[in-house]
Amino acid sequence: MEISKMSNSHLEEIKDILLTDFDDFWTYSVFKSELQNPNSQYFVAIQDDEIVGFAGIWKAIDVMHITNIVTKVSKRHFGIASMLLEKLIEVSKKENVNSLTLEVNETNTYAIKLYEKYNFKKIGLRKNYYAQNENAIIMTLLF
């Protein structure tokens, strides 16, 4: 497994399967603009020449914010999200920020357990944050 910085060519490679194989709500055009944002960093997980996951962070002064960690539907539960999260933590530490924060759907128990495994703490709740009026748990890892 290789984790590398997402490029425009990576995005073009997953463009047609972004919403079906990755089950993500971010569109191609959103990612295209994110790759141009100087405060954003995105990474891809590549296995056997296939993109099997991606993740991103935003920097805001002294805080990093995880925008997403997504694994290809057919490749879930093989540790790909853990590897991507480890990369985001590593990059955040190099940026000398105070914390790494995120929102996670309160029904996504797999993701919540993943973040807790890496010592993220639940610090708040955003009501009706997601579609179908689902709440988001705010989690933070302090450095």
Q: Decide: 73 and 37 in contact? Cβ < 8 Å.
A: no
Indicate the pairing of strand 2-5 with strand 63-71. unpaired
**Catalytic site residue from 103, 116, 129, 130:** 103
Indicate the pairing of strand 121-130 with strand 2-5. unpaired
Q: For residues 95-113, b (16+ Cβ closer than 10 Å) or e, as one string?
A: eebeebbbbbbbeeeebbe
Write down the catalytic residue from 42, 86, 115, 116: 115
Is-contact 23 12, C-beta < 8 A? no
134 flagged as catalytic: no
Q: Is 115 a catalytic residue?
A: yes
The packing angle between helices 80-94 and 109-117, to 10°, is 50
Q: Which residues are catalytic?
A: 103, 115
